[in-house]
Structure 1
Amino acid sequence: MITETTAVTFRQNLGDMLNRVQYRHDSIVVSKDGKPVAALVDAQLFARIRRMQARFDALSGRIEAGFAATPEAQGLAEIDAAVAEVRAQNKTR
């Protein structure tokens, strides 16, 4: 479950919030002035997020290297064409 709370409430209830994250595997979004500024998640989820980020960064680097010689305008045009093709296919389903 994801709970939203203010920074003040979070500070006042830190122990309870930590227990909810640790034992119930809840996530807590902390807001300040009505805007989300932080999230508290259990350590296993955080480790998974970091692994996914590392894999994403590696994949992005490989894609970037593979298209380094492609002019930006051409690459964007190819992306737009691919998106349009997939959208057209989804409309016919």
Structure 2
Amino acid sequence: MITETSAVTFRQNLGEMLNQVQYRHDSVVINKDGKPVAVLVDAKLFERIRRMQNRFDALCKRIEQGFDNVPETEGLVEIEAAVEIERAQTRSSAKQR
């Protein structure tokens, strides 16, 4: 479950919020002036997120290295073409349903 709370309430109920995250594996979104500024999550979930971020960063680096010799304008044209193909396929699939 995801709980939203203000920063003041969070500060006042820190122990309870920690128990909620640790034992029930809930998450707490902390709002300041009505906007989310932080999230308290279970340590195992955070570790999974960290590993996913590391893999994503490594993948981005490999893609970047693979396109080192491609001029930016040419790359952008290829990206736009790929996006248009995907959109066309999505529209086609939606029509078939």
- In structure 1, stretches of 5+ residues that fail to align are none
Aligned ranges 1:1-93 → 2 under 5 Å: 1-93=1-93
Q: Runs (4+) of structure 1 moved beyond 6 Å?
A: none
> Hey, what's the Cα distance between the residues in 2 that align with 1:48 and 1:34?
28
- In structure 2, stretches of 5+ residues that fail to align are none
> Hey, what's the Cα distance between the residues in 2 that align with 1:49 and 1:16?
24
Aligned residue identity for 2:51: R
> Hey, what's the Cα distance between the residues in 2 that align with 1:72 and 1:35?
36
- 3-state DSSP class of the match of 1:70? coil
After TM superposition, give the deviation of residue 90 of structure 1 in Å.
1.0
Aligned sequence identity (%): 71
> Hey, what's the Cα distance between the residues in 2 that align with 1:6 and 1:73?
46
Question: 1:31-90: per-residue Cα shift (whole Å, max 9, x none)?
Answer: 111111110000000000000000001000000001011111111111111111011011
- 3-state DSSP class of the match of 1:92? helix
After TM superposition, give the deviation of residue 9 of structure 1 in Å.
0.4
- 3-state DSSP class of the match of 2:68? coil
> Hey, what's the Cα distance between the residues in 2 that align with 1:24 and 1:77?
48
